[in-house]
Each structure stands twice: as C-alpha cells, then as structure tokens.
Structure 1
Amino acid sequence: MKLFRQLSRGLSLFFLGIAVIIGAAQAETVTPHRGGTLTLILPSEPSALVAIATVAQPVIAVSAKVTEGLLTYDYNLNPLAQLATSWEISPDGLQYTFHLRKGVKWTDGKPFTSADVAFSINLLKKTHPRAKATFANVESIATPDPLTAVFKLSNPAPYLIRAFAAGETPIVPEHIYANTDPLKNENNNHPIGTGPYVFEKWVRGSYIIYKRNPNYWDQPKPYIDQLIVKFSTDPVVRSLDLQTGQADLGYRTPVALSELKTLQKKPDLVFGYQGYNYNYSVASIYFNLDDKVFKDIRVRQAIAHAINRAALLKVVYFGYATPTESPIAPGLKAFHSATPSPYQYDLAAANKLLDEAGYKKGSDGVRLRVTLDYNTFDDTFQRNAEFVRSALSRIGIAVTLRSQDISTYAERVFTHRDFQFSIDQYANLYDPTAGVQRLYWSKNYRPGVPWTNISHYINPQVDKVLEAAQTENDAQKRIADFKQFQDIVQHDVPDIPLASPQFITIANKRVHDSSPTADGIEGNLSTVWVDPKP
C-alpha cells in the first residue's frame, strides 16, 4: 500500500510544535467515558442526510453516522471490517466475495442482509456521481444466502476493494427504497440505518440531532449519548464556537486559515492532520466548454497563463496547501504527474492569445466580461474566486463573482448548465478511477447529476486511456495510463488545477478518538468519546 501513504506536504514549519494529533487518539489506553454530547460544526448545511446521489462534503460528513459501508480503512487504506467481516478476491480479480456481519438490524428493526448490499450497489450506479465509474465492471451481485454477497466483474478493477467506505458507498435498506423514486425518498432526510446513531430531528438552517443507537451491533459503542451537528457559513462564528465550547469538533480546517497560528496557542484546542487519507482534493477553475467564450481553447489558455500559483498559495491558502498543475492530487504520489503545465504564468502570452481570439481591449481596458460561480461550502472557494478575478483583470477580463449555497450551485451548474466557469474542489479519493475519472470521462456527462463531468469535456483518446486504467492490473502500466491522461488534459485545459489543500481538524481537548480511520470525521464516529464537562 505504499502508493497510498499519507501525503507529506513539506509544510513542517507551519506545524512545528503542535504535539497533539487527533488521529493518533485511537492508541489511547484510557477507558472511554460513556455519556455526554458531542457537537460537530460544519461550514454548510447538508442538502440530504444520506450520500446516495451526491458527493457534497456536508452530506458525506453526516451520512455515515446512520448509514454504514461494507468496509472502513486504516491510514494506509488497508481494508477493515464494518458491515462485512471478511472478504476474498479471486486470483483473476473477477470476483469479490463479502461475508456479512450476523445479527445486524436496521434501526426500524428489519434484518440487514446481502439483498440490501446488492440493491445499494445497483442503486448507486444509477444515482451516485462516482459510482458509475467505480462499479462500471461489476456485472452482477449474487446473494447465495442472507450473509454473502458475491460481486462478479466483467474485467478486473484493481482499485475496487478501497471503494466501500460508508461515505462513498453507503449501504441503504432495500425495503425502504425499493419501488420508489430514490432521489425523493423520505429516507434521504429521515434516515434508517445500521450505524451507531439514530436520527432524531433536523432543524433546517440550524442543526441536526442524532441519539445513541442502543441496539448498535458494535457494543459498547457508541460512547456518547447524543451527537449534534451545527452549521454556520461564517468562519468567525465557527471559530468562536470552538473557542468557547459551543462546538467540540470541526474538520477540513473549519476556521479562517489566517487564524490558525493564533488558535494553536489556545490551551483548550488540539489540532490533527489524520483522517484525510481517503479524500485528497484538488481545487480548480472549471470551464463550461459549451459556453461561447470558453469553447475557444485560446481563451482558456490565456486564463491559465494569467494564474500565478505561487502567489495564490500565499494569498488564498497562507501556505496550507500544495500547488498543483495536474488534476491528480500530489497526495496520490504514484499517479500524480509533476510535468509542468504548458501554460505557465506569462501575462504577455495571455494577452497575445486573447488578441488572436478576437478579444481586443476597449477604451476601458476590458476585453470581455464573464461571470464566475462558486459555492460556499469551503471558505477558500471565495478567496480563490477573488484571486482569479484580480488575476484576470490584469489581462482585460472583467469578472463578476456569483455565490450561492451548495444546492443552488449544483442546480445551476449541473442541471441548468447556466454558468460560464466556476471555482470548485473535488476529492480524488483513494484512486484516480474513483475520484478523477468522473470529471473527464465523456460518458459521465450527466446533466442533473451533481459533481460529474462539469465541463462537458469530450476527448475520445482520454476516454480510451481512462477506460484502460479502469481494468489494468499491472501497476506500472496503470501509472503510465494516468500520466498520459494528465498530459492530454493539461494541453486541452478543460479546467485549471490550482492547489491541493492541507486539511486540519480542530477539537476541544475533551474530545478523544474522533479520527481512527482514513475517512476521519466522515466515518461513523462510533469510537469518539468526551470527557465530562466540569
């Protein structure tokens, strides 16, 4: 699993002296305290509570608390048991057999069986933005008995064993979803699951309450009695809540990056970097290739020439990120290409390209006016957008920024296609086939399905290379496929990768064992416990 070891960012000066690592808490020998309430704070409200049709971060953050997966993973992405207790892969890679946990029940009392597994995977292939690619080679799922699920593949899928985390591949109850419209099913907002928590209520615009599942299969977990999930789009509010104890836990760097050094001096707060191994991400500028302005590659090339990533790293991320010119995150070391973009920072080249494209400067110095969209889940989206607006003003492109909540953004961009270009950030996950292919594979252009091929990028050669990597069992050949893919995409510029952020968890010192697995806070939080409040 050397390919998937945790990324070392080279930012040690920023983190020097931080002794407490939340992700290491699983090594504690202290007996967990039972009882109490944990409050998790998010920067945006989820649009649903089950991640069957979205990869939006707020949804993934809450989904696994009720709706579990077959497996979870250690920090090196080695599989660990969850709803499956053991598994075998045939030597030819064409059959995966999962043996399921006995005695597990849904929170409505119905038994969990292999039929739920088969139903869930087939459902996700239709509704989930990434599952169509992830499970493309899964031809059928046999259920010879209630505790055995056998995946039969048409071709090998060397990444597949790492695809079964709860947030990525949730297992849902067939008896709730069968013969319904899954996207409108009430379970998405009032979930029934197998997880450590039972959904209690959702006060829209404010918070969600989960209670301890007294019948959870992994007793004596969970240790806390209640999990509250709050949301605030204001980083100042999130910071104050964490400092005053109104919130106990925040992940994916829940405060303004400019505040981190000050907060690291607070004695009641601890900072952690584990639990992000499953979702290395890349923030990028994405073009709508159907737009009359951005269908011209010269305009996209000009914009690429106008972006100074070294400046962006300082201004937007305060150094807490790794700049990247490739769509595959540096964290996926074996697959990431360090080949520079053919469009390096060069304002003269940018101006020349815009002249050639017919966009001459007017008397006001403006060549053209465009609108840049961004959503509000992550504070860096707005800062990236502001940086891009400033950068493009230097080459005569006037940019109007347009922000919206995640649901509105997703509908505008993926359903109505009513955008010119956008700032967004996508998880590469544990493998490029799962996290990257969806954005560039022409067969994954699915209007109405969020977080798919946002640019409407079509390149038959890219399709061929990505599909080859999907089934290639030879590790070196697969790496070569992805390097070729990156070279082509960097030339075509359907998007402009900017940076891969360093995510940080902030917690009150009374919080323990919050991130024992690769998906961290996005896991089921069954192990977390809190010291009693004084």
Structure 2
Amino acid sequence: MKLRNLLAGAAIALPLMLGSAHAQSTDPLKTLIVAVPSDAVGLEPGANKAEPIGSEVILNVFDTLVAWTAPDFTQLEGRLVDSWTVSPDGTEFDFKLREGIKFHDGTDFNAEAVKFSLERTKAINTYVEATFGLISEITAVSPTEVKIKLSEPYPAFLSILAQPQAAIVSPAAVEQFGDEGFATNPVGTGPFKFASYQADTNIVLDANPDYFRGAPTLERIIYRVIPDASTRRLELENGGVDVVQQQGQLSAIAAEDVAALEANPDVTIIEAPSQIIRQLEFNNNNPDSPVADIKVREAIVHAIDYDGLLQGVFGGTAERVYGPLTTNSWAFNPKMEELAPTYDPEMARSLLAEAGVDPSSLDLTLYSFQGPLWGAVATFVQANLADIGINATIAQTEFPAYRALQTAGQFDVALDGRQPWYNDPDAHITIGYLSSLADTAMTFRMPEDAELDALILEAQQTVDQEERKQLYFDIQEKIAAKVPGAYLFSPKLIVFTRANVNGLVINTAPPLNEYWGVSKE
C-alpha cells in the first residue's frame, strides 16, 4: 500500500465576509460562546485539511456516516447510517442509510448524496489522497443503500469515514454555489446550520430544529477569535465566553493558569487523555550521524527526566508516553511500560563509555517548533543532555523550514510529534515507522527492515481486530528495541468551561467537540 504524506496541502483562505446579518439570541442560556485562538480554515469537507477550528465547525454543521460513541469513543456507531457490513476480505463496505433526513436547504439526504460527497472529497482534497485513494468504486445501490469498494483491505477505513473530510454535503448547494462558493456557504444535515462568518472575528451557527436526532438545546454557537491566551482566560473568568479549548495544541491557556482556574467556582476544567505523542526523534537513516550508534541513542533516552518534564514544565497537564502508541489506544501493549527507558544519568554515561564516545565530542543541534512551551521543552531536554556531558544548541524553527529539514534528513535530533485525526493505531505506526515513507513526512526516518515493514503492512490490512491488536503488540516491541527516539509526553485534552455548561464530552481522536448534547443552566 502506498501511503503518502497525510499532511500534504496548503491551508484554504476564507473570504472577508459571508452570510447575511442575523438577529442576536434573546436568551443567553441558549447561546454558547466558544473562544478560539485563530481564524477558521476549511469550513467544509472538501476543503478541510484537519485544521482544528474548521474541523470542529464541520462536525457540528455536517454529519458523517459513522461516528465514535461517547463517552469512551472506543466503538463506532451509525450516524447517517442504520447499519453496515464489511466483506470477509475487508474490501467492500455496505451501508444502510437512515431515511427521512433533510439537508439544511431542504433537499433529501440519500445514497446519491453519499456517493457525490465522498467522490468529491476524493477528487479535490489532497489531504486525504492516501486514504480516499483506496476507494475504487462507490455505488448507490438504491436511495437508502451504498456500497463502497476498496482496491485493497484497509480496516481503518471506517475510522476514516468518521473524519470531518468524510462528512456528507448537499449536492444541490454545491451545484448552486460551486466548490469555491460552497466553502463559504456550507450546507449539511447536522444539528447546527451555518449562519455567518466575519474574518478574524467570529463564526455563527444556528440550531437546526429539524435535526434527525432531535433539536439541540442550544439555539446558537458563536466562535469568537481571541488570539491572546491571557485574554481568553479573562473572558472565561468574567463570563464573556463559555468555552476555551486546547484542541490538541500544546496550550490554549498556559499550563500555569490551570491551578488558578481550578480554584474558581465559576469555571469547570474537563480533562481527557489524548492520543497525541510528542517526542525527541533521532535521524535513524543517516549512518554518519552521531546517533547512528544505538548505544548513543540509548544513552540519550536514559538521560531524560520524564517525570520531571511532566511536572516541571506541564504541571500535570500531560502524561507519560512509553512507546509508539499512547496508553489509551486500543492496540497499546502494556509491556511497553516495562520496556520504556527510565531516567538514569549514570546508565547514560556508562552507555556512552561502552560506545567509546566522549560526550564532549557530541555537539548536537536540537531542532524544535517555535513557541514558548516548545522552547521550555527544548530547554529541559538540553539541560538533561548537559548533565551527561552532551552539548545541544536549540534551534527553534518555523514549520515550513522545519518540515523541509526533517524530510530531507538534515538533522540528528529534533522535537516533533504526531496528532492522529482518526482513531486507529495505523495513524501513528505506518506514517511514523514504515521505511518506504521515511522521507515523505516528519517521521522517524526508519531504515529499511523487511521484517518490521512487512508486519506494519500486515497489521494495516488485517481485517480481524484482535489479530491486528496482536500484530501491533509485536510491532511496538520491535520498534522499541530499535530506540528510534525518546517518547516524551502526551498532552491532555483540556477544555475550560463556565460552570453552567453541561453535557460536553471530549473526543480523543480527532480532538474536536460536538455541541448537540450541550446545554447551559
């Protein structure tokens, strides 16, 4: 299977203004104000490339065929479908659609709309090329039946269909507005209708009273753009906004503010483990690199004070990662906790001595993303390396240049991470460790290993979930033995709300909020 870089593609720009003027809600308990750090990008499935704010808007304006079941998000449920079956070889998916559902423009949801939507996203959205590219045929068998055929088995495909990019659009609205116009006039079947947008100011969604799962309690959602974290906090404390969310980033409100908000009776803090992994990556595909020696890599991973990082930098707002998957993944191997490196500077120095390496001869450039929290992580790791005699110079780098450096292999050590947007171990394992993808994205640049590569592809294509799980157990152990990096932390998903906000449940992958079941009192 040829998986291309899932992060390909540029952001889609939005126009200055869209939609008509709208009356303000008369009942503040029916309006939810959500503070977001930046303007939205990709407000409709065909244009969306996993930008958090646009993705969340999609999941409230549109519906997908299937969705993860709250509150645990470990099982898929039908959303626009009543039921589905998968062929024994994992290449054919048959869906029975719900009947009587209408798009916001009054047109019917049916099999032709499903076929139109998925084929459209496949054609225009480069972000999903690797996964939607597996679709060989979509057939509208009847108005309420759809068959999707894949060119090869891909058990994670149902997870892909729960992503914002797989949401179902109104064919009539696309025909009316065209692709460019639809991007600024999105029409779905969801619990909220798109009302208006002002660039760098707000997005307004109004309730869909005819929603097939029942009308939402809220009448309106307003996304307010507030770039400054301290301002978002003050607005939350003063009641100017109802929700401030982290959305899988390192921080929306700074970690040091959490303690202050915990003491505020008017604020509720909702936390959930994420499947995001942040790590120190080694360039595993450069024989001339000082980290080509596994003893040097082992020394570095034992030099890092993992617990100190979690408490000192994050104040408990992140969790330990023990290997290629987080502990809340359904395929996590519990043995990884035993195999994970411990903080042991003496062992680190001993390993360098075994390798015949004078630590003072190692002068590393530690690449990092920009931003104060990434800088804090880099400084912490730099100090740990200095404790065992290794000098590391921090180079915080803008994302385009950083990505170019990593894909070209022009680094020895770099702080990086992966944020999965579909709930499957494939989201971490394949793109991160399959050697054929080493230079296609920000990966661990793994050297060719026929056995490991074959296992990764087998796990990716095995239909039975229990068999897949055992394969991923084996894969995690084999990857850990290679010491491809130091797994540092997984930031918790944190949402801050006013105390009168009820019913909000955090999804882990993707880390986006649905507001259909939310109310205020």
Unaligned runs of 5+ in 2: 1-26
1:98 to 2:109 alignment: no
Does the CA contact (< 8 Å) of 1:124 and 1:131 recur in 2? no
Partner SS state of residue 171, structure 1:
coil
> Matches of 2:515 and 2:160 in 1, distance apart?
19
SS at match of 2:496: strand
Question: What pairs up with 1:479-518 in 2 under 5 angstroms?
Answer: 479-515=469-505
Residues in 2 aligned to 1:519 and 1:352: alpha-carbon distance in whole angstroms: 40
Residue 149 of structure 1 pairs with residue 142 of structure 2: no
Give, in whole Å, the separation in 2 of the partners of 1:369 and 1:414.
Answer: 15
Letter in 2 for 1:393: A
Q: CA separation of 1:57/1:389 partners in 2, compared to 1, >3 Å: closer, same or farther?
A: farther
Mapping for residues 443-522 of structure 1, pairs under 5 Å:
444=437, 447=440, 454-459=443-448, 460-515=450-505, 522=512
CA deviation after TM superposition for structure 1 residue 138, in Å: 4.9
Q: Could you say which residue in structure 1 is the equivalent of 2:433?
A: 440
1:285 aligns with 2:280: yes
Work out the CA distance in 2 between the residues paired with 1:490 and 1:296.
15
Measured in 2, the distance between the counterparts of 1:221 and 1:34 equals: 18
Structure 1 position 64 matched with structure 2 position 54 = no
| Alpha-carbon offset, residue 465 of structure 1 | 0.9
Structure 1's 424 and 507: CA in aligned 2 closer, same or farther, altered over 3 A?
same
Aligned partner of 1:197: which letter?
A: K
Report Cα offsets for 1:425-465 as digits up to 9, x if no partner.
42385321244433223455684xxxx55334343333211
Q: Deviations along 1:198-218, whole A, 9 cap, x unmatched?
A: 0511423xx331231557533
CA deviation profile, 1:322-348 (whole Å, cap 9, x unmatched)? 312211111125533433457544445
Quote the Cα distance in structure 2 between the aligned partners of 1:130 and 1:438. Answer: 13
Could you say what the CA RMSD is over the residues aligned between the two structures, in angstroms?
A: 4.2
Other-structure match for 1:27: none
- The answer for the alignment partner of 2:49 in structure 1 is 54
Q: Distance in 1 between matches of 2:340 and 2:326?
A: 18
Higher RCO structure, 1 or 2 (CA under 8 Å, sep 6+)? 1
Q: CA deviation at 1:484?
A: 1.9
Task: Give the structure 2 partner of residue 14 of structure 1.
Answer: none
**Is 1:223–1:529's contact at 8 Å kept on the other side of the alignment?**
yes
- What residue in structure 1 maps to residue 111 of structure 2? 114
Superposed CA deviations along residues 282-315 of structure 1, whole A, max 9, x for unmatched, are 2222345567747735554443232221222211
Q: Which residue of 2 aligns with 1:210?
A: 204
Distance of aligned partners of 1:326 and 1:411 in 2 relative to their CA distance in 1, 3 Å threshold:
closer
| Aligned partners of 2:418 and 2:428 also within 8 Å | no
Counterpart among 309, 314, 331 of residue 317 in structure 1: 314
- The aligned length equals 479
**Which residue of the partner structure matches residue 197 of structure 1?**
193
Instruction: Report matched runs for 1:173-188 at 5 Å.
Output: 187-188=182-183
Conserved in 1, the CA contact under 8 Å of 2:163 and 2:510?
no
Structure 1: which amino acid aligns with 2:63?
E
Q: 1:245 to 1:117 in 2, by over 3 A?
A: same
Q: Which of 256, 259, 274 is the equivalent residue of 1:258?
A: 256
Name whichever of 212-221 and 71-80 sits farther off: 212-221
Match of 2:15 in 1: none
Name the CA distance, whole Å, in 1 between partners of 2:515 and 2:307: 37
Residue 377 of structure 2: which of 360, 377, 384 is its match?
Answer: 384
Structure 2 residue aligned with 1:296: 292
In 1, Cα distance between the equivalents of 2:82 and 2:370?
39
Higher helix residue share: 2
Residue by residue, what CA displacement relative to the aligned partner does 1:82-117 show, whole Å, maximum 9, x if unpaired?
A: 222333345665432222344545556665443443
Compared with structure 1, are the counterparts of its residues 401 and 324 closer, same or farther at alpha carbon in structure 2 (3 Å cutoff)?
A: same
For the residues of structure 2 that align with 1:344 and 1:296, how far apart are their CA atoms?
21
Q: Identical aligned pairs, as a percentage?
A: 22
SS in 2 for 1:527: coil
Q: Residues 279 and 416 of structure 2 are in contact (CA less than 8 Å); yes or no, is this contact kept in structure 1? A: yes
Relative to 1, partners in 2 of residues 1:188 and 1:63: Cα closer, same or farther, differing over 3 Å? same
Q: 2:75 aligns with which of 50, 75, 78?
A: 78
Task: Report the equivalent of 1:13.
Answer: none
Distance in 2 between the 1:389 and 1:244 partners?
39
| Number of the residue aligned with 1:430 | 423
CA distance in structure 2 between the partners assigned to 1:102 and 1:171 by the alignment: 15
Give distance in 1, aligned partners of 2:77 and 2:187.
23
Match 2:162 to one of 162, 165, 177: 165
Is 1:338 aligned with 2:338? Answer: no
Cα deviation, 1:149-191, whole Å, max 9, x if unaligned, reads 212346655454444324364334567889x998xx5655664
| Partners of 1:125 and 1:132 within 8 A in 2 | no
In the TM superposition, 1:360-375 aligns within 5 A as: 367-374=362-369
On the 8 A contact 2:366/2:378 being kept in 1, the answer is: no
Describe the SS at the equivalent of 2:221: strand
| Structure 1 counterpart of 2:303 | 306
Separation (CA, whole Å) in 1 of partners of 2:195 and 2:397: 31
- 2:221 alignment partner in structure 1: 227
Aligned partners of 1:374 and 1:423 also within 8 Å: yes
CA contact (8 A) 1:264 1:271 kept: yes
Q: TM-score, normalised by structure 2?
A: 0.75
Q: Is the 8 A contact 1:374 1:403 kept in 2?
A: yes
